[in-house]
Amino acid sequence: MKISVDGEEREVDKDAVLGDVVELSSGCVAGIIKEVEQVVQEKEREYQVETDKGDFTIGLNDSQHAEQFVEEIESIEELGVRWSSKKIAALGPFKSNVPIQKTNYNYQVGDIFFGVSGLDNDNTYLMLAREEHTKGYGTGGGVIGRIKRGKHMVDYLKEGDSIKEISQVKSREERYDSFYTNDPETELAPGMQIYSKISIKLGQAAPLSSEYFLRKTENNYLEVGETTDTYLKCNGRIRNLPAENNVRRGRGVVTVRNEGDGRGNIYLYKKDRPMHTNHNVIGEVVSGVKLLDILDEGCRIMVETRPKRMLSIGLTQEEAGQLFGNNGIKHKRVGETGDEAVVIRQEPRLTLDLKEGGVVETYGVDPERIMDVELYYEDASETTDYFKRVSRLISEDVGQLEVYFASQKISNVMFKGDQDLAGNLKPENTPNNQVAKGEIGITNMSKPNKGMIGIRLEDSDRYGPTGEGFKATNITGKVVNGLENLTELNDGDKIYIREIKPQAPAPEKEREKEKEIERESDFGSEEEIKGDEGR
């Protein structure tokens, strides 16, 4: 029997099941369309106006003037352009019941409105604003709506041109008999359309937002947090992000919210929406857009991005060379250049900048210089979040800390923090009787040096890793390998750290665990996205 899988026609056995044609992982679902119905319907508030010079579409508002327009369509269809200026084109006259009001109004480009000449309803005109201007046309505004499409046609209208027809806009939509599932034993039937993933092509106009999105989809999936008739929303979080590429949002467009509640949320649009300054348009769905219409809140969807993220931090120089070579990027090694050296810095940092420039430089260090740490997400969630932001582990596989104070005479090393970021760092996972060698601590908000980071070089039953008492110390993790790297440091030196992930939880607890540490995969700020380039 014939079916369609991600847009490609296939011939499969009559007893084929879902698992025979697609492979789903990480709890992702596939959308299955059993039948498609073509539906044509009129758009209640949209009208197409056909003129001698071309067509334009009016979107009506909810005013009484708009209702009068609908009532007067038969009269308006016979009108021609009576006069034309830089500011307006006026079609008429005709008789109407438009209320007379002698006040000025500020008209915007594309406004459609009623005007009367000589304050006489027998001389009513339908007027189209070509420029923003303030004037009184006898109706106190009289705006019925705006031109939605074909705004440029207004500039071509001149005296003598006329309206040929006004008709209600009709839309053609597909309605699906569809469902979603992750059951590989789901039986298939002839003609089914199966969508297992969406492919998203990123544009070049929003490199920071795109890098954030690439980080969020490194595991090749997104989880739907909310569905509406207009969009799917996937929850995210970011400290700050500039406005980038604020343009109209069409069906299939992908945006990242840059301001307001939900900063960092990702939106995938089912329907057209106008431009919004709080939404950065990063790309569009080029394959699998029908899947957006099928999914519900809580669904996971497989995501392919074009390009994929190209960040080499944490890879060896050899692995970095393979990554960039496979993507046509010229690669230069600096620092430690041996195959086994670990990359701790990459320039340029952003994937889209790499694609545009075609050249990258990676700085490597001896792997022995990298400390491995384990972080306490469950016991110190807020402190761990702060530590990952300061160290840049929030966005990179190898982080960095700068030494604030180191001396062989004391039993701890202290590193620079961020007092502004630590402003509300409450006591959390404070020690009771002892702090062990290798434990990582952060001074909480109870002391002036809030945000300071420290690591113990010896056990202590009196002081935390930053030299503070236990009540002022939040324990966020421990060094599991490479503690000896701290013994010969000087003020201003940098250390490199890599996180050792805890053992994966049992499958039935996986989703709950991920929600507890959701912030782990989010970015903190523009600077944290850009790494060294943003500092």
Q: Is the pLDDT of residue 508 over 60?
A: no
Main-chain phi, psi angles of 304, to 5 degrees: -110, 140
Q: H or E segment at 210?
A: helix 207-216
Q: Could you tell me if 246 and 283 are in contact, meaning their C-beta atoms sit under 8 angstroms apart? A: no
Average pLDDT rounded to a whole number, residues 60-79: 90
Q: Are residues 104 and 221 in the same domain?
A: no
Q: Are residues 225 and 271 in the same domain?
A: yes
Q: Are residues 263 and 386 in the same domain?
A: no
Look at residues 136, 170, 204 and tell me which one is the last residue of a structural domain. 170
Average pLDDT rounded to a whole number, residues 139-147: 94
Average pLDDT rounded to a whole number, residues 339-366: 95
- Does residue 348 fall inside a structural domain? yes
- Does residue 17 fall inside a structural domain? no
pLDDT for the residue 53: 87
Q: Are residues 211 and 164 in the same domain?
A: no
pLDDT for the residue 506: 46
Q: Are residues 489 and 402 in the same domain?
A: yes
DSSP helix/strand/coil, 79: coil
Average pLDDT rounded to a whole number, residues 196-206: 96
Q: How confident is the model at residue 527 (pLDDT cuts 50, 70, 90)?
A: low
- Does residue 36 fall inside a structural domain? no
pLDDT for the residue 241: 92
The CATH code of the domain that includes 269 is: 2.40.100.10
Average pLDDT rounded to a whole number, residues 144-149: 92
Closest CA to 158 of 85, 87, 109, 94: 85
Q: How confident is the model at residue 520 (pLDDT cuts 50, 70, 90)?
A: very low
Q: Are residues 50 and 153 in the same domain?
A: yes
User: Which of 182-191, 437-446, 510-519 shows the lowest mean pLDDT across its residues?
Assistant: 510-519
Average pLDDT rounded to a whole number, residues 476-481: 96
Average pLDDT rounded to a whole number, residues 482-510: 78
CA atoms within 13 A on the CB side of 206: 26
Q: Is the pLDDT of residue 427 over 80?
A: yes
pLDDT for the residue 502: 62
pLDDT for the residue 151: 82
Percent of the chain with pLDDT over 70: 92
Q: Are residues 80 and 141 in the same domain?
A: yes
Regarding predicted confidence, which is higher, 391 or 519?
A: 391
Output the CA–CA distances (angstroms, integers) from residue 303 to 201, 237, 430, in the order listed. Answer: 11, 19, 41
Q: Is the pLDDT of residue 405 over 70?
A: yes
Q: Is the pLDDT of residue 413 over 50?
A: yes
Q: Could you tell me if 97 and 71 are in contact, meaning their C-beta atoms sit under 8 angstroms apart? A: no
pLDDT for the residue 141: 94
Average pLDDT rounded to a whole number, residues 90-105: 92
Q: Are residues 386 and 458 in the same domain?
A: yes
Which tokens is 171 given?
């839309």
Q: What is the pLDDT of residues 255-273, one digit of tens each?
A: 999 998 899 999 999 988 8
Whole-number Å distance between alpha carbons of 81 and 128: 10
Q: How confident is the model at residue 525 (pLDDT cuts 50, 70, 90)?
A: low
pLDDT for the residue 534: 36
Q: Are residues 161 and 206 in the same domain?
A: no
- Does residue 59 fall inside a structural domain? yes
Q: How confident is the model at residue 240 (pLDDT cuts 50, 70, 90)?
A: confident
User: Which of 17-26, 168-177, 194-203, 314-323 shows the lowest mean pLDDT across its residues?
Assistant: 168-177
- Does residue 507 fall inside a structural domain? no
Q: Is the pLDDT of residue 38 over 70?
A: no
Average pLDDT rounded to a whole number, residues 333-349: 96
pLDDT for the residue 78: 81
Q: Is the pLDDT of residue 25 over 60?
A: yes
| C-beta neighbour count of 229 within 10 angstroms | 7
- Does residue 282 fall inside a structural domain? yes
Strand partners, 172: 40
pLDDT for the residue 134: 95
Q: Could you tell me if 206 and 62 are in contact, meaning their C-beta atoms sit under 8 angstroms apart? A: no
Q: How confident is the model at residue 210 (pLDDT cuts 50, 70, 90)?
A: very high
Domain count, the chain: 4
Q: Is the pLDDT of residue 42 over 90?
A: no
Name the average pLDDT for the chain: 90
Output the CA–CA distances (angstroms, integers) from residue 300 to 84, 113, 479, 513, in the order listed. Answer: 56, 47, 34, 16
Average pLDDT rounded to a whole number, residues 167-187: 86
Whole-number Å distance between alpha carbons of 60 and 416: 59
Q: Is the pLDDT of residue 513 over 50?
A: no
Q: Are residues 160 and 88 in the same domain?
A: yes
User: Which of 121-125, 224-228, 404-408, 450-454 shows the lowest mean pLDDT across its residues?
Assistant: 404-408
Looking at residue 33, the DSSP 8-state letter turns out to be E
Q: Is the pLDDT of residue 519 over 60?
A: no
Main-chain phi, psi angles of 93, to 5 degrees: -90, 170
Whole-number Å distance between alpha carbons of 55 and 165: 10
pLDDT for the residue 27: 94
Q: Is the pLDDT of residue 75 over 90?
A: no
- Does residue 521 fall inside a structural domain? no
Pairing of strands 193-195, 2-5: parallel
Output the CA–CA distances (angstroms, integers) from residue 201 to 140, 252, 303, 310, 410, in the order listed. Answer: 47, 10, 11, 15, 54
pLDDT for the residue 522: 53
- Does residue 11 fall inside a structural domain? no
Average pLDDT rounded to a whole number, residues 190-210: 95
Q: Is the pLDDT of residue 394 over 90?
A: no
Q: Is the pLDDT of residue 356 over 80?
A: yes
Regarding predicted confidence, which is higher, 513 or 354?
A: 354
DSSP helix/strand/coil, 180: strand
Q: Is the pLDDT of residue 316 over 90?
A: yes
Q: How confident is the model at residue 524 (pLDDT cuts 50, 70, 90)?
A: low
Q: Is the pLDDT of residue 231 over 90?
A: yes
Range of the domain at 346: 317-365
Q: How confident is the model at residue 521 (pLDDT cuts 50, 70, 90)?
A: very low
Q: Are residues 218 and 144 in the same domain?
A: no
pLDDT for the residue 52: 87
Closest CA to 511 of 28, 161, 137, 10: 28
Q: Are residues 78 and 148 in the same domain?
A: yes
Q: Could you tell me if 422 and 450 are in contact, meaning their C-beta atoms sit under 8 angstroms apart? A: yes
pLDDT for the residue 518: 42
State whether the Cα torsion 128-132-138-140 is positive or negative: positive
